[in-house]
Amino acid sequence: MAISESAGGQTAASLNPQSWILNPDDMATIDQIIEQVKQYSPEADLDLIKRAYKFAEGAHDGQVRLSGDPYITHPLEAARILADLEMDSASIAAGLLHDVVEDRRNISPAERRASGRAPSGQSL
């Protein structure tokens, strides 16, 4: 199967953007992700994940996807995939933050410091 084909033979270009809209019941939430991580890693740094989420949520405030969904649904889905793979807290935080630098080039040093500490112990 070619990369641009789906199992039904449609190409990505032929898909209707309205079909990309997530059912609200299927959207990942930070609470679901936290609970999932607690199940496979009881000693995980949940505070790091929560801080990453709050920072990403603020950075993407007001942004929407082509589907009309709030943009934060994308980082949450990325984090859910990482949690499904039972990745560590730093990886899940990275999933939540992966678009912040691209979308928010004007992050101040004060915002970086307020977001916490890097997993290595270095200040952000």
Q: Could you give the residue numbers annotated as active site?
A: 102-103
CA dihedral for 121, 32, 88, 92, sign (positive or negative): negative
Indicate the residue type of 7.
Answer: A
Quote the tokens at residue 30.
Answer: 């930070």
Kindly report the backbone phi and psi dihedral angles of residue 100, in degrees, each rounded to the nearest multiple of 5, phi listed first.
Answer: -65, -45
